[in-house]
Amino acid sequence: MIDILRSIHHYSSHFAQFPRLLRGIAPPCRGNGGPPGKSRFTIVLDHLYLFFVLKVIPVNYYLFQLQSKSREDFKEYMDEPVAPLLKHRLYKRLWNDSYSSLVNDKHLFHCLCRYHGIAVPDIYGICCGGPPAGNDPHLTKIMDERGIDRAILKPRHGVQGKGIYFAHRNGRGIEVRPAAPRKASSRGAGSTPRGDFIVQEVIGQHPLMEIVNPFCLNTIRLITLLTRDNEVEFLAAMLRTSSDRTAVDNFSLGGIVVGVDIDTGKLRDRGFQKTSQVAEFRRHPLTGAVFGDLEVPYWKEVKETAAKAQKVFGELKAIGWDLAVSPSGAVMIEGNIEWGTAGIQATNGGLLTPRNRSLFAQYGLTFYE
């Protein structure tokens, strides 16, 4: 009875999204042209098909270039993990919510990684009660005792790059500024997190990663799944970078994402950005770096680090890992339960390949059957 009531609730939550449905029928992608589109009438029918038949909220219709695909191809694409119907199924099959704090709490995550020998940025201390202001006595004490001039301040339970600050020592003391401009921050979901902030090491990145964009820490999002046989499989990967001098690389804050070949670590030749519309790039708009010419350094180590972490956090069967590459190797930044499928599928194609479907089926997850 409880399961029936829950199903009714989640279906109701899905159909409550109907006002967003036709709002997504916007012009196709800008930038380098984009593929041929369908008529406006066909696009409307596509949106209705996605929403009512596949039970998908079609907010990524143009991002996935569905205007150039058949409706049968739509079934290769997974909905956003935060969508009501899919979120319920994923938490039921893959994510034991009793263990979600292991990755959602950044300080706890750091401690567990350190205990298991997984490289993570150092945490210098914790500031309570919200983001500290410049010359905050507690922050000043932490930086003085550690002998550091720079630090990154992150909400202990923050998501989507929201509410991140940088602390920098100058001639007048310690200045604290947001990592993303206010305009960019407003595109993220929710308000600025309050509560505890961790004071974390600023990671220096590998020179080959600097080529992409030296003004932010370019990270790799790598999705892993732990099989019933306790083996780790890789579902997809992408590079995330800021589109300008903004210091955070989050797709939700206007960043660019580029697919990464799982076997080689080589970047695919196109990157995508989604703001009010969708833009496509073959070069980074700021640095001019050609995506298809680049390869992620230490790629084998990046995969090994994510695989090790997946086994450490094995109560959560599929996790999206964010990793940086320093001059000396892979560094784990954080793990994400709701790993976000928008950028991953824009850059790599639909997640629901025959191989990935068989992996999900181990946990009783089927899609559009």
pLDDT in tens, 234-278: 999 999 999 999 888 888 788 999 999 999 999 999 999 988 789
Least confidently predicted of 68-77, 225-234, 273-282: 273-282
pLDDT band at 340 (very low <50, low <70, confident <90, very high): confident
What's the CA gap between 235 and 103, in Å, rounded?
Answer: 19
Q: Is the pLDDT of residue 48 over 90?
A: yes
Q: Is residue 244 included in any domain, yes or no?
A: yes
Q: Note whether 196 and 210 are same-domain residues.
A: no
pLDDT value for 158: 85
Q: Is residue 368 included in any domain, yes or no?
A: no
The position carrying tokens 């559009």 is 368
Long-range interactions of 263-267: CB distance < 8 A, separation 24+: 264/295, 264/299, 265/295, 265/296, 265/297, 265/299, 265/300, 265/302, 266/292, 266/294, 266/295, 266/296, 267/239, 267/291, 267/292, 267/293, 267/294, 267/295, 267/296
Q: What angle do CA 174, 179, 184 make, to 5 degrees?
A: 145
CATH number at residue 347: 3.30.470.20
Strands 173-178 and 197-200: unpaired
What's the CA gap between 82 and 10, in Å, rounded?
Answer: 12
Amino acid residing at 339: W
Largest Cα span, the chain? 65
Q: Note whether 183 and 222 are same-domain residues.
A: no
Q: Is the pLDDT of residue 3 over 90?
A: no
Q: Is residue 290 included in any domain, yes or no?
A: yes
- What would the two tokens of residue 334 be? 């954080």
Q: Identify the domain boundary among 200, 217, 244.
A: 200
On whether the CB atoms of residues 14 and 57 are closer than 8 A, the answer is: yes
Q: Is residue 285 included in any domain, yes or no?
A: yes
Give the mean model confidence (pLDDT) for residues 331-354. Answer: 94
pLDDT value for 27: 54
Q: Note whether 348 and 223 are same-domain residues.
A: yes
pLDDT value for 183: 53
Q: Identify the domain boundary among 170, 200, 230.
A: 200
Q: Is the pLDDT of residue 299 over 70?
A: yes
Neighbours of 292 (CB within 10 A): 13
**Number of folded domains that form the chain:** 3
Domain membership of residue 163 as a residue range: 122-200
What's the CA gap between 65 and 83, in Å, rounded?
Answer: 20
H or E element: which one contains 361? helix 354-361
Q: Note whether 310 and 294 are same-domain residues.
A: yes
Which position has the higher pLDDT, 48 or 82? 48
Q: Note whether 346 and 253 are same-domain residues.
A: yes
Q: Is residue 88 included in any domain, yes or no?
A: no
Q: Is the pLDDT of residue 17 over 60?
A: yes
Q: Note whether 227 and 341 are same-domain residues.
A: yes
Q: Which of 277, 281, 290 is nearest to 243 (CA)?
A: 281
On whether the CB atoms of residues 235 and 225 are closer than 8 A, the answer is: yes
Q: Is residue 369 included in any domain, yes or no?
A: no
Q: Is residue 210 included in any domain, yes or no?
A: yes
Strands 267-274 and 278-281: antiparallel
pLDDT band at 123 (very low <50, low <70, confident <90, very high): very high
Q: Note whether 184 and 139 are same-domain residues.
A: yes
Least confidently predicted of 74-88, 104-118, 197-211: 74-88
What's the CA gap between 345 and 281, in Å, rounded?
Answer: 16
Give the mean model confidence (pLDDT) for residues 220-232. Answer: 98
Beta strands in 303-353 (DSSP E): 318-326, 329-336
Q: Note whether 218 and 353 are same-domain residues.
A: yes
Q: Note whether 7 and 42 are same-domain residues.
A: yes
Q: Is residue 107 included in any domain, yes or no?
A: no
Give the mean model confidence (pLDDT) for residues 104-133. Answer: 94
What's the CA gap between 219 and 203, in Å, rounded?
Answer: 11
Least confidently predicted of 179-183, 339-343, 349-353, 356-360: 179-183
Reported as a single tens digit per residue, the pLDDT across 314-333 is 999 999 999 999 999 999 99
Q: Note whether 210 and 177 are same-domain residues.
A: no
Sheet bearing 329-336, strands edge to edge: 30-31, 278-281, 267-274, 256-260, 232-241, 219-226, 318-326, 329-336
Give the mean model confidence (pLDDT) for residues 50-77. Answer: 94
pLDDT value for 189: 42
Q: Identify the domain boundary among 200, 221, 247.
A: 200
pLDDT band at 161 (very low <50, low <70, confident <90, very high): confident
Q: Note whether 227 and 184 are same-domain residues.
A: no
Q: Is the pLDDT of residue 186 over 60?
A: no
Q: Note whether 312 and 345 are same-domain residues.
A: yes
